[in-house]
């Protein structure tokens, strides 16, 4: 098992309380990150190794990053943040999810191109419904770390009816660690299974990411042909990858047919409150991720 730099782990754990104070679901204060210059041309893209050497992310900056703030950035800025993260541990349990498209870009256009090329797609998906695809595939995930398997949480029947003729034929299950209305165990459909493993990032090959691969979901126990085939190799060919911002909080990238589609975040409040400094499960590369003082 690969271990993150010890000083970085301790700093992340020590600043976990700050992450809670800033609020994971609010914009919060500006983390004060520095980005290398870029423009629309591909040749302007910065070298990630140089970016990380000159402007490593400090524990204090990571603690101030929120999903709301990430969603306000341009895609190049999100990419520069992702490249300065490492995979962290493979998560375990239920994580709430939010997705966001690149600012100024139309994620619906990307998705519609994939849907348009999906031959034999018998389910009626009008263009006005394409924005719901992301909600169905990426709105909350349950990780089964020991089995190296993941399933997606779906709670809203009206979304499920878009892709399943009879949602009532599917069983709802209690999601461990989640509550509805504070007291009652939360029930959800756990669909779209995927395999979990460490692998090369499609954005940054200097270190591994945690890969969420739907290609062979039909080999996973509990697979439902409809709707689970949609995410697999006969459907949208979804492949996600995630890296840890701090314990309990991950930044992810979703691909369809190896074409980047959108960003997403995953958050587990219990893990975040614990503030423990976990080991890396994946290869963290050869470039040292040093914990430095405040400022970028």
* 290 located within any domain: no
The pLDDT-based confidence of 118 (bands split at 50, 70, 90) is low
* 101 located within any domain: yes
* 282 located within any domain: no
* 214 located within any domain: yes
* 47 located within any domain: yes
* 137 located within any domain: yes
- Total domains in the fold of the chain: 1
Residue at token pair 């992702």: 82
Q: Are 90 and 283 in contact (CB under 8 A)?
A: no
Q: For residue 57, is pLDDT > 60?
A: yes
Over residues 249-262, the pLDDT tens digits come to 999 999 988 889 88
Q: Which of 108, 191, 100, 103 is nearest to 152 (CA)?
A: 191
Q: For residue 32, is pLDDT > 50?
A: yes
Q: Which of 118, 145, 148, 150 is nearest to 133 (CA)?
A: 118
Distance CA 140, CA 264 (A): 10
Q: For residue 67, is pLDDT > 60?
A: yes
Over residues 207-261, the pLDDT tens digits come to 999 999 999 999 999 999 988 998 899 888 999 999 999 999 999 999 988 889 8
Computed over every residue of the chain, the mean pLDDT equals: 79
Question: Among the listed ranges 22-26, 96-100, 166-170, 292-296, which one has the minimum average pLDDT value?
Answer: 292-296
Q: Give just the sign of the alpha carbon dihedral 113, 115, 118, 120.
A: negative
Q: Which of 270, 283, 296 is nearest to 243 (CA)?
A: 283
Give residue 238's domain range: 6-274
The pLDDT-based confidence of 184 (bands split at 50, 70, 90) is confident
Which is higher by pLDDT, 262 or 17? 262
* 263 located within any domain: yes
Residue at token pair 């190296």: 148
* 267 located within any domain: yes
Instruction: State what percent of residues in the chain have pLDDT above 70.
Output: 74
Distance CA 123, CA 230 (A): 10
């Amino acid at each position: 098992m690969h271990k993150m730099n010890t000083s970085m782990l301790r700093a992340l754990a020590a600043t976990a309380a700050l992450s809670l104070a800033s609020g994971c679901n609010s914009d919060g204060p500006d983390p004060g990150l520095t980005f290398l210059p870029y423009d629309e041309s591909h040749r302007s893209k910065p070298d990630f190794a140089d970016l990380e050497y000159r402007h490593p992310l400090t524990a204090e900056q990571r603690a101030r990053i929120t999903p709301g703030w990430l969603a306000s950035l341009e895609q190049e800025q999100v990419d520069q943040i992702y490249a300065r993260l490492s995979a962290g541990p493979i998560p375990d349990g239920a994580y709430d999810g939010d997705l966001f498209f690149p600012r100024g870009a139309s994620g619906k256009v990307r998705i519609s191109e994939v849907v348009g090329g999906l031959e034999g797609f018998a389910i009626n998906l009008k263009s006005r419904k394409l924005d719901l695809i992301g909600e169905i595939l990426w709105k909350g995930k349950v990780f089964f770390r020991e089995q190296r398997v993941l399933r997606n949480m779906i709670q809203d029947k009206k979304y499920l009816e878009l892709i399943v003729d009879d949602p009532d034929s599917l069983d709802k299950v209690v999601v461990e660690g989640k509550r509805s209305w504070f007291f009652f165990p939360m029930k959800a459909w756990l669909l779209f299974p995927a395999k979990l493993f460490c692998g090369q990032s499609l954005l940054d090959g200097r270190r591994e990411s945690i890969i969420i691969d739907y290609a062979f979901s039909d080999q996973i126990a509990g697979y439902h042909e409809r709707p689970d085939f949609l995410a697999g190799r006969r459907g949208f060919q979804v492949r996600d990858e995630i890296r840890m911002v701090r314990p309990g909080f991950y930044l992810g990238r979703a691909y369809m047919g190896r074409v980047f589609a959108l960003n997403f975040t995953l958050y587990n409040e219990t893990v975040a409150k614990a503030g423990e400094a976990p080991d890396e499960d994946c290869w963290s590369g050869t470039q040292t991720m040093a914990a430095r003082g405040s400022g970028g």
